[in-house]
Structure 1
Amino acid sequence: MITDRQALILKAIVQQYIETGQPVGSKALMDLLPTHVSSATIRNDMASLEKDGLIEKIHLSSGRIPSVRGYRYYLDNLLKPINISDQTSELIQSDFAKQEFNRIDEIVAQSAKILSTLTSYTAIALGPESKNTKLTGFRIVELNDNQIMAIIVTSDGAVFNQVYKVPRNSSGEQIEEIVRIINDQLVGETLATVSHRLQTDFPQLVSRYLQTPNGFLAMFDRFLDKVTADHFFVDGKSNLFNYVDARNTSNLKYLYSLFDSDYYLARLLGLDQNDTHDEDEHGIQVHLGYELDPQTLKNYSLITAKYSVGSHGQGLIALLGPTNMPYSQLIGLIASLRQELAKQLREYFSDLNGNSS
């Protein structure tokens, strides 16, 4: 356990290193600390902090920088978020107001764009996932003798379409019959229920009317998986390369591929496992890249924040940037953006349903 004075010194070292990117020495700390402390006392406390693994020396200079453990201690115990200015708050609101949104995805994508623009880092946004989302429409459009377009409409106003080859041994009459049964039996059910029924009683139900429905039902099941999968929106991908060693081509390839796969993004954001770090009182978490992947992300940090749209589910926004990000300012910014994003989504659902959500 470090002393209160050592905590002040560690906090000053972290904040100064974030601001300048340079090691911090005892003489500089004399001017940074809120109370007068002698240079000798500061050096003794810095030696204790270094012994505890909270700060480290990177060359022969007397200055120190935060270690990974030091950053973690600062984030867990010393960090105080800074509220954004009224000007920045108004800028966020005006950026959302610049366009009329016709889909949830457009609102979520805009939030990533705003966050990336304001920070010059890489922003990631995930729309709200609601267990109450229902299938409200399904139809097939015949494009030619070999292709059809399947269209799914959900209760949150989203429309998905996918082009498929006509399943083997399926006639136009058979396809129309399956579409009719789907609309009779599955429309109005939650997507989770629809997915469950496709694996249980629905194939047997359809087989009463058709002899070979399996190919079409498998196609519909794959389409539904795509609809219910996480939909990530990333903005500012190229900003990552400002903080990577260009000589390390493997890192460059990994970072580039990271955003081409929903699977890797879900892993990065911890959506595939229980998170070990507690959220702060703002519901925001900070993950050091060394904790996520010490080989490829050691120079980065990830800030994540969940947001709620009531019965319409929860989503997530995140920011990936260098380890020496100005965390206090960024957490305040993300907290404000999250609030405005949830407001925009509530208004969208309210307009969609013709009443308040």
Structure 2
Amino acid sequence: MLTKRQLIILDALIRLYTSTGQPIGSKTIMIETAIEASSATIRNELSQLEKLGFIQKTHSSSGRMPSLKGYRFYIDHLMQPQEVTQDKLKTISDVFGNHVEQMDDIMYQSAQLLSDLTHYTAIVLGPKAESSRLTGFRLLALNDNYVMAIIQTDKGTIENKVFRMARSIQESDLVKVANIFNHHLVGHTLTEVAQKLKLEIPLLIRKHVSNATEMFLSIESALKESTESRHHISGKLNILDFSENMNTQKLKSLYTMLDDSGDLYALIDHINDDFVVKIGDEIDHELLKEFSLVTRTYDVSNYGKGVIAILGPTSMAYDETFGVLDVFRKHLTHTLLEFYLE
């Protein structure tokens, strides 16, 4: 159990190290805090905190820096979300105040805004739509072998997916495929739709519209995107600001992972808790042992839950990040509700 003075010193050291990136000494703590103790007393307390594993001494100076154990303790017991500044509040309000017509636009703008506000890498997962039901499906032939699939759900969501065919398709085949989809898929949840697309629908396509197999694969891909959480990642280059100790090969592997997004997506897709912070080895990914992953869920009424996440250094400004995520979540939820109710 840490004493009150040790708690004050640990809190101050972590906040100072986060803001400066430099090891913190006893004199700095004495000057920057209102603690009533001499520099020698603070040095003794720092030694105790080091023995307990909350801080560590660097080889280059007499200052200390937080350990992963120290960050964990700080987040769980000491950290208070920082109030968001007025200029950031205005930026959030302005971006979410813009009218958008596509869900993907909301997700893209959200990830970009969150990255700009925190200067870290931001990931935004749209609300899951497993409970939504398919209520309408149309296929329209466009020019140059392009086809548009119009997908509508009972949540009021309408998506337009345009894809190109390698060869022209007959209008009659478009009608047949659309009829199969409407007869066998409309009224089912999107989760059920995904299952039928794997098992039942391919057999019907081969039986009734055998020359439309290629088109079916394109439509299947479009519908699959509608059943999965939409996700966008922004600010990948920000990693360069806090990965100076990472070798080139590992950095390339990290960027490959972010480009594919599959691994990172898997790490946060299943998160249901309100706030989750994973530090270093807690993330359980070889490439992310020097990072922290902060996630927060948001709930868009009966339209589903989504996740917003920040990937940054273990020395990230947690208090500021938590404050931004809290405000950001409220604005994103409100914007999505307005989108669904339009």
* TM superposition score normalised by structure 1: 0.83
Aligned to 2:117: 118
- Long gaps (5+) in structure 1: 352-357
How far the C-alpha of 1:126 sits from its partner, in A, is 1.4
Aligned to 1:189: 188
Aligned to 2:127: 128
Aligned to 2:149: 151
Q: Aligned partners of 2:218 and 2:84: how far apart in 1?
A: 48
Aligned to 2:258: 259
Letter in 2 for 1:116: S
Letter in 2 for 1:79: M
Could you tell me whether the CA contact under 8 Å between 2:275 and 2:296 is conserved in 1? Answer: yes
Q: Secondary structure at the match of 1:329?
A: helix
Could you tell me whether the CA contact under 8 Å between 1:140 and 1:150 is conserved in 2? Answer: yes
Task: Report the CA distance shift for 1:199/1:336 in structure 2 as closer, same or farther (over 3 A).
Answer: same
Could you tell me whether the CA contact under 8 Å between 1:130 and 1:311 is conserved in 2? Answer: no
Q: Aligned partners of 1:159 and 1:194: how far apart in 2?
A: 17
Q: Aligned partners of 2:205 and 2:237: how far apart in 1?
A: 51
Could you tell me whether the CA contact under 8 Å between 2:68 and 2:314 is conserved in 1? Answer: no
Could you tell me whether the CA contact under 8 Å between 2:150 and 2:161 is conserved in 1? Answer: yes
Equivalent pairs counted in the alignment come to 338
Could you tell me whether the CA contact under 8 Å between 1:142 and 1:149 is conserved in 2? Answer: yes
Could you tell me whether the CA contact under 8 Å between 1:160 and 1:227 is conserved in 2? Answer: no
Q: Aligned partners of 1:60 and 1:182: how far apart in 2?
A: 67
Task: After superposition, give the CA deviation of every residue in 1:12-57 in whole Å (9 maximum; x if it has no partner).
Answer: 1111101111111122222334330233332222222111211111
Letter in 2 for 1:271: D
How far the C-alpha of 1:74 sits from its partner, in A, is 0.8
Query: More deviation in 290-299 or 321-330?
Result: 290-299
Q: Aligned partners of 2:323 and 2:315: how far apart in 1?
A: 16
* TM superposition score normalised by structure 2: 0.86
Q: Aligned partners of 2:332 and 2:74: how far apart in 1?
A: 28
Task: Report the CA distance shift for 1:202/1:106 in structure 2 as closer, same or farther (over 3 A).
Answer: closer
Q: Aligned partners of 1:60 and 1:199: how far apart in 2?
A: 60
Query: More deviation in 147-156 or 39-48?
Result: 147-156
Could you tell me whether the CA contact under 8 Å between 1:55 and 1:66 is conserved in 2? Answer: yes
How far the C-alpha of 1:83 sits from its partner, in A, is 2.0
The CA RMSD measured in Å over matched residues stands at 3.0
Letter in 1 for 2:100: F
Task: Report the CA distance shift for 1:58/1:198 in structure 2 as closer, same or farther (over 3 A).
Answer: same
Higher helix share: 2
Query: More deviation in 216-225 or 296-305?
Result: 216-225
Q: Secondary structure at the match of 2:75?
A: helix
How far the C-alpha of 1:177 sits from its partner, in A, is 2.4
Task: Report the CA distance shift for 1:48/1:179 in structure 2 as closer, same or farther (over 3 A).
Answer: same
Letter in 2 for 1:84: V
